[in-house]
Amino acid sequence: MIRTDDVSKPYKTFLPDSERKPMNRWKASQLKSKWGDTKLHNELTNSAFMLLLTRLKRLYSGYKIEVYERDHRIDSKFNATTMHVFMTKQLYLEIECSYVEHRCQLLYSIGNCPGADQIKRWLKEYPFSIAKREHTPKGGISAYFDRVKAYQGDKHFYTL
C-alpha cells in the first residue's frame, strides 16, 4: 500500500485538555444509534416525566407553592448527567441519564407535600415502575431547596 499523505505532519488524534468539553449523557445516548432499546426507553421516560410535570403543575396550581424548575438539557453547567429538575420544599424530582449505561431514570423524594399519595400512584405507572430511584438530597429536601435558592437567587424560581 502506497501512502500519499505527508508523513511529516503529525496527526491530531486527541484534543488538548483546554479544548475538551464533556458531552451530556443524554446527548451521547441519542447519538448511539445501535442502542435502539435504550433510545426507546429514554424517549418513553422523558415523555412520562413531562406528563408528570404537567400533572404536578395542575395539582399545585391553587396552592401558591414556590417551585424551582430547570431544564439542564439546554444549559449543562450544573451536571453532565442531570436533565431536568423540579423541586418544592417538600418534593424533589430529577431526571438523569446514567453515566455508563446512558439510560434515563427518575430520582425522587416525596416529603409531606400536598397530593403525596396521588404522586406516589403516578410514580407506579410505567415507565417509572422500572426507571426510578428514591433519592433524598443531603440534609433533606427543604434544606436543599434553601441552598439552591441561595446559590441561584431568583433565577429558575416561580410560584404556581
Residue 84 lies in a domain: yes
Spatial contact of 160 and 78, defined as CB atoms under 8 Å apart: no
Residue 5 lies in a domain: no
Residue 17 lies in a domain: no
Residue 155 lies in a domain: yes
Spatial distance between the Cα atoms of 12 and 27, rounded to a whole number of angstroms: 24
Residue 28 lies in a domain: yes
Residue 4 lies in a domain: no
Residue-wise pLDDT tens digits, 64-117: 999 999 887 776 666 677 888 999 999 999 998 877 777 888 999 999 998 999
Residue 13 lies in a domain: no
Number of domains in the chain: 1
Residue-wise pLDDT tens digits, 97-107: 877 777 888 99
Structural domain including 68 reads 23-159
Tell me what percent of the residues of the chain surpass a pLDDT of 70: 74
Residue 19: DSSP 8-state: G
Residue 131 lies in a domain: yes
